[in-house]
Each structure stands twice: as C-alpha cells, then as structure tokens.
Amino acid sequence: MHLFELNQYPVPVGSMEGIGDAFEEGRPSFWKKTSKAVPGRPSPKRDLKSNSFKSSSTSTSFQDFQESVNDAWDLADDDICGSTGVTISSRVSQSAALSVINNHRNTAGVDDERPTQPPILSEQKKTEAIQRLALLQNTQAAPTSMAQHIPHHARQFPGRPQPLRGLPSSGSREGEESSKLERFQPLLESTLLNLEDLRQLSWSGIPVKVRAITWRLLSGYVPANLERRQQVLEQKRQDYWNLVKQYFDTDRDEAYEDTYRQIHIDIPRMSPLIALFQQQTVQEMFERILYIWAIRHPASGYVQGMNDLVTPFYIVFLQEAIPSDCDLDTFDVARLSKEQRDIIEADSFWCLSKFLDGIQDNYIFAQLGIQRKVNQLKELIQRIDTQLHRHLQQHGVDYLQFSFRWMNNLLTRELPLYCTIRLWDTYLAESDGFASFQLYVCAAFLMHWRQELLQERDFQGLMLMLQNLPTQRWTDSEISIVVAEAYRLKFTFADAPNHLQSGDR
C-alpha cells in the first residue's frame, strides 16, 4: 500500500546512503517520528526536537535506515496517500525521488568495468517514476475506473497473496498424488519412523492428505515414536493454552503493550485478497499465536511480516480439519468446534516456533541475519551470472531493495499460497535446516527471471518487475524447477564457500 510495500517491510526506495544523506541535509521526510519503540526491539536514542537525521561517524548506513523507519508503521494510509487511495503526496514523492537521485549519484562511475553508464534522468523524471511505482502499489484499493487506466499486467500483485482457489486438478496430477501417498502411508504408520527416509520422500512434495502429520514430524514438533506421538501432541497443545491464559487472557505486561498494539494493527491488513484471513475468528487466533511467540522470544520479539510465516502452517492444519471439497477461501472457521480450532492454533504456534529456531538472527535488532544473506546473494549472483549482476548494478538497483522481502518472508509474498506450501515441503525436508538452502532458492528464483530483467532498461522497469514478479499462475511444477536449480547451486558451491566471503565480513 505504501511505496515499495513499505507498510509491510522496511525496504528502502533508494540506497541506504541516499536515505542517510537526505536526512543529514535536513530534507523533508515522510517518516513519522515518535518516542514509541519498535515492538520487540530496543529503540535507539534520538533528538525528537530536531528535524534532521543525525548519525555518528561509526554508525552503519543500515543502522541509519533502521532509525529512520523506527515508527513509520504508525502512519495511517491517509498520511501517505490522499483520500482517493491513489493521489500520491508530493512530499512523499520528493523524499523518495531524492533517495533515488542520491543512489545514482553515489554509484555513478564506481564500476569502471561497466560497458556503459545508465542515462542520467532529470529529477522530474525520477519523481514521475516513483509516483508510478507508488500508484501501481495502491491500485488494489483504487476505484475500478482508475484501475482501468493501469495495464493489465501491472495490476497483478504476487506480492499480495491471491485467493486460495487453486487450479483444477488434472487426472495425471491426481494419479501422482495417489502414487506418492502409497509411499508415505507405510512410513508414517511404522512404529519407529525413519526421519531421513521421510525427508527424502518429502523433498519433492508431500500429498495433501498426509501433509499435516508430515509437517509436524519434520518440524520436530512430535516424536518419531508412534506410541508417544498422541501423548506429546496433547501435552504441547495444553502447554500452549496455558501460555495463553498466563500472558494473553490476563492484564498484559506493560513492557509488551507496544508488541500487542503492533500485532493488533498488522493482522487486519494481512492477505487482503484472501477472504479467510479477514474473518474475526481467524485474526484473533493469529493475534494470540504471534503475541505468545514474541513473549517466548524476547531477543527478537514480533517483527512485521512474521504473520505471513504463520499462514502456511495455519492453512495446512485447517485443511486437515475440514472436508476436502470445502472452499478454503470462503470457509467459516467459526463453524469448527472449539476443540478443532484450539488444535489448529496450538499446532500452528509450535510448528512456527520450531521452523524459526534456525533463523532467529533474521529478526533480532537490525536483522543481522538478513543483512548477511542479502550480501551473500549478491556475491553468489555476481559469481554465477556476471551479466545479470552488472545489469542490476548499472541501473542502480540494490539487492536490499528487493531481496530483503524475500529473506524476511521466505518468498511468501512473491508466490501464491499453495506454491509457498509446496516450497515449504522442501524447506522442512532439508536435513541440515533450510536456512542455508533458502539462499540458493532466492538465487534460483532471481535467475528464473533473468531474460525479462535483462530486457528492462531503467531503474523503474527493473523495480516494477522485481516487486511484482508474475507468479500468479505458478503451480508445483515451477516450484519444483526452482528448488531443483537451487539444489544444483548448493551442490556446486556448498564446498566452495569463498563465494560467500564478503557476506561474512
């Protein structure tokens, strides 16, 4: 809804340095400054009376940026856009354009090996480019008459999860599911499950009928021993509801009031095109899951966008509880019994917790894990596709501008939800954890679009493409291609770690 999905993820419009310079020179900014702390994170001290951004000589550009967006999420939509939902504030456009201009100034002439330099655009042209980008991001909420003036391809928003109605199942696909199910069932029913065999079988996709129990096993939520499985499930579910009674249903600790407030603001905004997630019952379940997770993980706390990571688990466990012929998009969750709803909620919480254990550094202050992975992605692409890398650099596109969201939300905003679930089959099946494998998935995902990206000849075209990749009609087949290429990259480079050196510096 805001520029470059700013209402969801702190992705800078221009370079880090460009934003920092804009603040240092006292230029106008649309970031709202308050004394409120970011939920789950310490808030750096700053002078609220000053309109300029001040940074010490030792602070990094990312830290500067982190301070500048401290409480930007408190802005109402009308603070950014006009009452029609499509009129872009000139103040916003000017601030965003300045950062883009600075980015081009800072990068001009840095790489002497570039075959050509990008054309120098006027400030008016850059402002117009940013306005178009923001306009396209807000088209969803725009009146139909306004949307008619936007090209059809530009009205596609893979960055916003699409309705859950899937593609019609073909006979061959049903046969493949049946064949896979025959291999899964004996394994899942064995007295002592061989997890390695389950991982190998799950890596290429899990049948819907056994996906819920398989995800519980692969997450480490339930034991491999069949006899102990039900007992552990009942105990863990009871543990979750004890946490809810202790921390959520009572007077909440003042220290976590900002956390609850931010979650309460974010949940109604999530997945606006999926009717299921607009139900009050569902939103209340998500609030409890995210709040208890934040309480149990004070080093990171709640980070915006984390609600997207709950949705695949929630959908998988909901599918287990309802008839297979039900339309998930319109199913009324309140129709389920309280016991069924409690099971879905508790299992979603525990599997999310297990899933995020290996990537908690993605969500600590300054999100150091994501910074490192973005640098590693840059180094990897530079190594495997110099042409694409130089093309992005030549036109002033910073990897942080598009891959931050990929890393922060594990591609949930780039793919239809049913594709995300298929991708997470592979993530959960990764024997050494998916954290390292996700880097190669992001690289393969970027490489998938290399021809289209190379055809774009300016910053605006590249960012429009990268922010709204056309994945609406993707199926399991495209995901299988991406993960296969990711596996090839990992196999090629896992034992040659020098390509990731700069990311570790």
Q: Is 471 exposed, middle or buried (0-12, 13-18, 19+ CB in 10 A)?
A: buried
Give domain status of residue 466, yes or no.
yes
Question: With contact defined as beta carbons under 8 Å apart, do 451 and 443 qualify?
Answer: no
Give domain status of residue 416, yes or no.
yes
Mean pLDDT of 339-363: 92
Query: Rounded to whole angstroms, how far apart are CA atoms 258 and 38?
Result: 8
Structure confidence at residue 178 as a pLDDT band (50, 70, 90): confident
Give domain status of residue 398, yes or no.
yes
Structure confidence at residue 133 as a pLDDT band (50, 70, 90): low
Q: Which two tokens stand for residue 127?
A: 């402002």
3 state SS of 445: helix
pLDDT attached to residue 206: 96
pLDDT attached to residue 34: 46
Give domain status of residue 447, yes or no.
yes
Mean pLDDT of 305-334: 93
Question: With contact defined as beta carbons under 8 Å apart, do 291 and 285 qualify?
Answer: no
Query: Rounded to whole angstroms, how far apart are CA atoms 34 and 11?
Result: 20
Q: Report the C-alpha dihedral over residues 406, 411, 416, 417, rounded to 10 degrees.
A: -140
Structure confidence at residue 241 as a pLDDT band (50, 70, 90): very high
Which alpha helices (DSSP H) does 256-326 contain, by range? 257-266, 280-296, 307-321
Contacts of residue 386, defined as CB under 8 A and 6 or more positions apart, other chains included, come to none
> Over 80: is that where the pLDDT of 396 sits?
yes
List pLDDT tens digits, range 14-67: 444 443 444 344 444 444 444 444 444 444 444 444 444 333 333 344 444 444
List pLDDT tens digits, range 242-284: 999 999 988 877 878 889 999 999 999 888 888 999 999 999 9
Give domain status of residue 266, yes or no.
no
* Of 460, 410, 453, 412, residue with least CA distance to 435: 410
pLDDT attached to residue 197: 96
> Over 60: is that where the pLDDT of 360 sits?
yes
Per the listing, tokens 């509801």 go with 241
List pLDDT tens digits, range 427-482: 999 977 788 899 999 999 999 999 999 999 999 999 999 999 999 999 999 999 99
Helices (H) and strands (E) in the chain, counts: 23, 0
Question: With contact defined as beta carbons under 8 Å apart, do 270 and 8 qualify?
Answer: no
Mean pLDDT of 217-222: 96
Percent of the chain with pLDDT over 90: 51
Structure confidence at residue 81 as a pLDDT band (50, 70, 90): very low
Structure confidence at residue 406 as a pLDDT band (50, 70, 90): very high
Q: Phi, psi at residue 189, to the nearest 5°?
A: -90, -5
Give domain status of residue 170, yes or no.
no
List pLDDT tens digits, range 98-126: 554 454 444 443 343 433 344 444 455 54
Q: Mean pLDDT, the chain, as a whole number? A: 75
- Give the range of the structural domain holding residue 443, as residue numbers without chain letter: 366-495
CATH number at residue 475: 1.10.472.80
Question: With contact defined as beta carbons under 8 Å apart, do 164 and 472 qualify?
Answer: no
Q: Which two tokens stand for residue 126?
A: 């850059």
Question: With contact defined as beta carbons under 8 Å apart, do 503 and 376 qualify?
Answer: yes
The number of domains in the chain is 1
Mean pLDDT of 332-338: 96
Give domain status of residue 181, yes or no.
no
Structure confidence at residue 163 as a pLDDT band (50, 70, 90): low
11-15, 309-313, 369-373: least confidently modelled range: 11-15
3 state SS of 395: coil
Q: Give the residue with greater pLDDT, 197 vs 124.
A: 197
Give Cα separations from 441 to 146, 341, 415, 435, 471 (angstroms). Answer: 36, 33, 13, 10, 15
Q: Give the residue with greater pLDDT, 54 vs 204.
A: 204
Give domain status of residue 211, yes or no.
no
pLDDT attached to residue 433: 79
Query: Rounded to whole angstroms, how far apart are CA atoms 135 and 3?
Result: 8
* Of 366, 117, 358, residue with least CA distance to 219: 358
